[in-house]
Structure 1
Amino acid sequence: MIWDELQSALDALQRDGLKRNRRTLESPCGPVAQVAGRTLISFCSNDYLGLANDPALVAAACAGARTWGVGSGASHLVSGHFAAHATLEEKLAAFTGLARALLFSTGYMANLGIVPALVGRGDAVFADRLNHASLIDAVQLARADSQRYPHGDLAALEKLLAASPARRKLILSDAVFSMDGDLAPLPGLLALAERFDAWLVIDDAHGFGVLGPQGRGSLAHFHLPHSRRLVYMGTLGKAAGAAGAFVAGDATVIEWLAQRARTYLFTTAGSPLIACALAASLDLITQGDARRQHLMQLIAQLRDGLAATRWRLLPSPTAIQPVIIGDNHEALRIAGALYERGLWVPAIRPPTVPKGTARLRVSLTAAHSEAQLALLVDALRELA
């Protein structure tokens, strides 16, 4: 019976230490979480600047609801594009220094829309092997020839590009890799895109708001020159503290995406009250150097605190700090021991990460205090 097959597969996930368990928060997003009546220090969220429950964003959302209501009622190209959306797109374009921006409901939907709109059958996509699942799925939807290069390996990518007879080429990469926390070699990727007449699509979900001058993202971090072939995606549910995503780039490219990206065309526009909150968020991001400086201090505190232990940290300069465990069950055991101590750190296992590299994914935010992080460091040192 098909139901028995599903149960058998679920039992296998449990046996292999791969079953995921959902917890329900009873408090707003922040460094302290209420879960099942317990108070926990959370190192789980991607709210890197601590803006998800910021009073300025809450006030902007409330004002937006009073002005625009709650729902948009239609897709952007029908009747769901409000003045609040237009204002946010203009602010995002100015913030990134790119010609035009286009809002999407989520980063996943943005990636699924971008790649198939730019390439298809007879074309080729060259993707970093550690790209996010949304980028992997986007390549499958595009039906282009898929070629994956070893993580961050520009020499291997160059060879693949040189050997490809495809009519159109697209290089696809995260800017900050969500499970390792390291940065893609963006200057080298852009140089190869220019040399081989390729698109360069960058997913900056974890760099936007955190990296670069005034948090303007990974492109600004690397001081990349403007290029018409560069398509930049940033999410708005992480450092920006709300929800949604955007794509920015050359005006002609963005207009093409508005006309051909199916995940833009065929879905209801995001709530205008969220657009109002995000407009306020951009102001706080721009003025957020103190938040980013504190975040960098926390990163150094964690790395220094665990340096003399058996725990292996990946070389990440970002808010994502993976502690490699290896075995799935051991990762769950360590995460469980932390949880009993009131510290919530997720255990990340395959297929999210390669087999044999199960890890604790410590996500730091500017809302964490040094004292809260010290509790985590002390607990990990004790468990080591």
Structure 2
Amino acid sequence: MNHYIDTFPGRKIIINEVPHLYFGGTSYLALQMDNDFQKLFINNIKKYGTNYGASRKSNIRLSVFEKAENYLANLIGSEGCITLSSGYLAGQFLAQALNSKEHYFFYAPNTHSALYQIKRKPFTTFAALNIAVREHLTSNKTTPIVFLDSIDFSGCNYPSFEALQVLPLEEIVLVVDDSHGLGVVGENGGGVHSILSKLNIKELIVCGSLGKGFGIQAGAIFGTSERIKSLTETSFYGGASPATPAAMATLLQANFIYDVKRKRLQRNMHHFSSHLKKRKKFHFMEGHPAYSFSDIQLTEYLEANRIIVTSFPYPDESAPLMSRIVLSAAHKKKDIEHVLHCINILP
């Protein structure tokens, strides 16, 4: 059932004038309604304005963009980084830039729609993907580009990426959407780049949203210095408005907030995971706060107990129902105890 609300869905939301606990969405660090984070953002809006619609190629350039990109590259562990106005735009930009006669696209299971530039179905298994890529390499001179979601909520990829390692990675350009990892998993919220960079990949490119983990409306692409330079020279990049500079400045200034929030989230995840008795009902990844399930009756049961979770067909109405319990840094111990009690007493 769809619910319409008039405020940001934080720890609690009001449905039909009745307060419910909210265990959904993607605000993993609960930054959007955090007072300290908002103060930083508001002060930066006063300095940089609410929007900046000029091209990054303009003769007048704000230094905060380059500072934020250098900060992100160092955090993630890549040679270079560029930011854009959203994670979806970052994925589309990257897919468009790579769509050439020199490349052939392959989509791993559960790849996000942000990475699609051509009509091609994702493979249902990594075994099938592996066969297809190897057959392509024996009969074709074009470089395979494999698109992948780092966190696909099935537990197939992050954190070990075992299925990915059956592919001939040394001959592949791997494009990874890390929207649900950036700011949340990895050392200091650096995402999955440090894990994947240890594999023998021909070229690794990571992209994603900065909204889920870092709480700002922006997207980013991480790669080699050469790759990032080539992307900045495109008309796509030059013609697109950037992320708001106030968001970039807040990213640079909010380190202490990010650290505190990640620790709170990790504490909440540990408490939930260690006390969850019905573990077989869920798919989840160690170190990530989303617990997926496919039982519509569980969603209805939780709502009857004044708990709202994420539950809708994604990314369109023809897709399977996506349901998950999502923990955030805003949840209190009593919130988690309540949802645990409701789940653990089930037969």
**TM-score interval, smaller chain:** 0.7 to 0.9
Q: Is structure 2 residue 104 aligned with structure 1 residue 104?
A: no
Query: Is the 2:154–2:283 Cα contact (8 Å) retained in structure 1?
Result: yes
Aligned partner (choices 335, 342, 345) of residue 379 of structure 1: 342
Q: 1:217 to 1:353 in 2, by over 3 A?
A: farther
Give the aligned residue type for 1:138: Q
Aligned to 1:56: 36
Aligned to 1:242: 216
Aligned partner (choices 110, 117, 123) of residue 138 of structure 1: 117
Aligned to 1:293: 266
| Structure 1 alignment gaps of length 5 or more | 1-19, 141-145, 326-330
Aligned to 1:312: 281
Q: 1:47 to 1:250 in 2, by over 3 A?
A: same
Q: 1:103 to 1:187 in 2, by over 3 A?
A: farther
Aligned to 1:12: none
Q: Is structure 2 residue 346 aligned with structure 1 residue 367?
A: no
Percent identity between the two aligned chains? 19
Give the aligned residue type for 1:285: Y
| 1:208-258 deviation per Cα after TM superposition (whole angstroms, max 9, x unaligned) | 122222221112356626967111113211111222111111111011112
| 1:117-167 deviation per Cα after TM superposition (whole angstroms, max 9, x unaligned) | 0232463111112111212x3344xxxxx473334x2x4333222211152
Aligned to 2:307: 343
Q: What's the RMSD between the two structures over aligned residues?
A: 3.0
Q: CA deviation at 1:380?
A: 3.5
Separation (CA, whole Å) in 2 of partners of 1:97 and 1:76 = 24
Aligned partner (choices 175, 179, 182) of residue 201 of structure 1: 175
Question: Which TM-score applies when normalising by structure 1?
Answer: 0.78
Q: 1:376 to 1:235 in 2, by over 3 A?
A: same
Q: 1:188 to 1:281 in 2, by over 3 A?
A: farther
Q: 1:283 to 1:202 in 2, by over 3 A?
A: farther
Per the alignment, in what secondary structure is the counterpart of residue 149 of structure 1?
Answer: coil
Aligned to 2:244: 271
Deviates more, 1:100-109 or 1:266-275: 266-275
Aligned to 1:16: none
Alignment of 1:155-304 (within 5 A): 155-164=127-136, 165-177=140-152, 179-180=153-154, 182-184=156-158, 186=161, 189=164, 192=167, 194-196=169-171, 198-221=172-195, 224=198, 229-260=203-234, 262=236, 264-286=237-259, 290-301=263-274, 304=276
Q: 1:252 to 1:362 in 2, by over 3 A?
A: same
| 1:95-135 deviation per Cα after TM superposition (whole angstroms, max 9, x unaligned) | 11211110011111111000120232463111112111212
More helix, by proportion: 1
Separation (CA, whole Å) in 2 of partners of 1:186 and 1:374 = 32
Q: Is structure 2 residue 1 aligned with structure 1 residue 31?
A: no
Per the alignment, in what secondary structure is the counterpart of residue 76 of structure 1?
Answer: coil
Give the aligned residue type for 1:162: R
Aligned partner (choices 103, 109, 125) of residue 105 of structure 2: 125
Q: CA deviation at 1:190?
A: 6.9
Question: Which TM-score applies when normalising by structure 2?
Answer: 0.85
Aligned to 1:88: 68
Q: CA deviation at 1:50?
A: 2.3
Query: Is the 1:56–1:280 Cα contact (8 Å) retained in structure 2?
Result: no
Q: CA deviation at 1:359?
A: 4.9
Q: Is structure 2 residue 71 aligned with structure 1 residue 71?
A: no
Q: CA deviation at 1:361?
A: 1.2
Query: Is the 1:124–1:166 Cα contact (8 Å) retained in structure 2?
Result: no
Query: Is the 1:117–1:261 Cα contact (8 Å) retained in structure 2?
Result: no
